Amino acid sequence: MIILGRVLVFFGVLAILHAGYSAVQCRTYYKLLEEEFVSLPLDIYIQCVLGMLLGCVGVVLVAGEFKEIKAAAEMASKTWESLGNRPSFYTFNHRGRAMFANLPQSGTW
């Protein structure tokens, strides 16, 4: 599957590059004929979209199998009371210690 994905990415990028080259060539052709450039031909748009789709499918195939996100497995061992408890957000070393280092420690202001 990975080799197929890489081939699809290669052909997708190749199609997008060819569509870009065709767009530049079309503009140059219109300039040589001294005609007004209105828009690109439909086949260039189709080629660009197909190249993008091939590239996207190829990238998904190269990425491999996705793992399922299981939040329930971690939460199964916790009680409802501990859900609000987030010890990873506790900070004991903060700038308050340095800011109030000069205050008296007696507890009265």
Per mean pLDDT, which range of 15-19, 23-27, 48-52, 88-92 is the poorest? Answer: 88-92
Residue 108 has pLDDT above 60, yes or no: no
For residue 56, the surrounding DSSP H or E stretch is helix 42-63
pLDDT at residue 48, as a whole number: 96
68-95 pLDDT, tens digit each: 777 666 667 767 666 666 666 666 677 7
What Å distances lie between residue 61 and 17, 51, 57, 94, 99, CA to CA?
A: 21, 15, 6, 46, 55
Other C-beta atoms closer than 10 Å to the C-beta of 14 total: 13
Mean predicted lDDT score pLDDT of the chain:
83
pTM of the model: 0.59
Lookup: tokens for 29:
């052709």
pLDDT at residue 101, as a whole number: 74
